[in-house]
Structure 1
């Protein structure tokens, strides 16, 4: 039976078109006995098409846009995680409670750094001649004599000059007449043996380790108004009461070590002596060290007088206002007209605030018109 070549070719071509419309079919393998190029056998074409239709499909991989698992799903209709919301609320409440508690505790017991940066507001300075200023001075004087270190040193001391044996100090008052006026005979009722009796050397004071004095307590009023430490720095809010000085005697130096003139000095520094508010000015502390070191040096210079040649200070910690400080001086070396002295300044708890050293030199002309014994009596009140 004769076969129409045209009909024979239509059916395979239809099948080939259907296969082309399917998604990514497997590549059709050409039989090894295929017809030469340009001639296609109807039988081979049909079998190849059927093989392609039965081959497994390889699905195309569709890549979705890159998204982070942690990114929010803005169009998501999934309800939020209630456990996570409760955890966030609990964290916020905890942080708030801790913050409020820290603020309250910090207000009641401020840290050292905060109290330095943000000091508590201080009251206005009192007038020198006001009753409030007098009451303040009496309160500071009373607090001074109640200090344990003062009680201990007083038990080893003899008071000299205008010291604690004067009625003004015994009763805790500071009568201006007893501070400023010196009787013509050099004697004050109620004074101790050092002033009204024999001198310290060879007298009753030789049985004690320290001489207790109060500088500037009886300083002349006319001179005091032009003196930095005796007048300008005196008053409420500054140096409300004279310092108390415990200077070691020759007997004390022999029995306890050190040198005559080594001293322990207590000074009360008020709020009006600050650089940064609440912190005592470094220049004020340098002035106190200069005078304390000079006193010890003068005890050991031939004419008992000297001038500052060199002063060095190492500031260790801030010195708070409205407190007593303790200045301790020691003689390092005395040679001819030169004396080297060191000092440490501490608070009442024993914390070192600064240390200092200085060199003092006695002027050459001192021996020609200054009496050494008179100068020593001035040192001792």
Structure 2
């Protein structure tokens, strides 16, 4: 069992808010998670852009290790949801694409649009593949998330069975881009979804085109896959929708 964290500050009272689906969460904690996530993203970005001398790098590394120790005072194991997470409402604050609490998320802000979903992001130097451009694998990560979100918004869900990408042109860094997706076929346990990444100022000129097949696992497989999932208290709580898409207005 991980060590206990610091006690709740005396007099602290959660300020409960609700997302667009009505699911409650501690707004004070949400603000703190988002604040830390933003600070960490700034640190990651600075760390890959910096040209300071070696001595300064070593000094900063010591500070980061000290802070890491403070955050490690209380941790959760894989499969245990954060107290702020609600998979049914698609609220996952540490999602690596949309999570405001994640140091590695751009983050991508997703919202519904007629017929699908759309999101905007700016990819910094931490995601570089070819010099000045987005790593191709990052395009796959982002589009898997966007295509999955479109599936859920259509009232469907499943797990990624196939993901195909066509790279038309490289995606530039430090440049606003728009990601779109919509369901094109659905039947039985299978959904087919297509989407694009394009410059925000030229949304009809795709840089990356994606197509995915999502399949709803059979009931016995879902039970196996999510047997170890628990809520923040450690109570077994397998998601009714095994997804990590993020709902607009839910603190993503």
TM-score by length of 2: 0.52
Q: In 2, distance between residues paired with 1:286 and 1:377?
A: 16
TM-score relative to the length of structure 1: 0.36
Alpha-carbon distance between aligned partners in 1 of 2:201 and 2:29, rounded to the nearest angstrom: 28
| 1:1-381 pair list within 5 angstroms | 159=20, 174-176=34-36, 182=83, 216=92, 218-219=93-94, 229=97, 234-235=102-103, 239-240=105-106, 242-248=107-113, 256=114, 258=115, 262-300=116-154, 304=157, 306-350=158-202, 351-365=205-219, 372=240, 379-380=246-247, 381=250
The structural deviation recorded for 1:272 is 1.8
Q: 1:269 offset after TM fit, Å?
A: 0.8
CA distance in 1, matches of 2:112, 2:209: 19
Q: CA RMSD in A?
A: 4.3
CA distance 1:334–1:176, change in 2 (3 Å): same
Quick one: distance in 2 between partners of 1:183 and 1:309?
A: 28
In the alignment, structure 1 segments of 5+ residues that lack a partner are 1-157, 187-198, 201-212, 249-255
Distance change >3 Å, CA 176–CA 331, structure 1 → 2: same
Higher relative contact order, structure no. (Cα contacts within 8 Å, ≥ 6 residues apart): 2
- Matched residue, 1:99: none
Residues 1:301 and 1:323: Cα distance change in structure 2 (over 3 Å): same
Q: Closer, same or farther in 2 for the Cα pair 1:160/1:327, shift >3 Å?
A: farther
- Structure 2 unaligned spans of 5+: 1-18, 40-80, 227-237
Aligned-partner SS, 2:130: coil
Number of equivalent positions: 167
Query: Could you tell me how far 1:297 is from its partner in structure 2?
Result: 2.2
DSSP 3-state at the match of 2:207: strand
Residues 128, 135 of structure 2: 8 Å contact kept: yes
Deviation track 1:244-271 (CA, whole Å, cap 9, x = no partner) reads 11025xxxxxxx5x3xxx2001122111
Partners of 1:301 and 1:337 within 8 A in 2? no
Give the Cα separation in 2 of the matches to 1:298 and 1:230.
Answer: 15
Larger Rg: 1
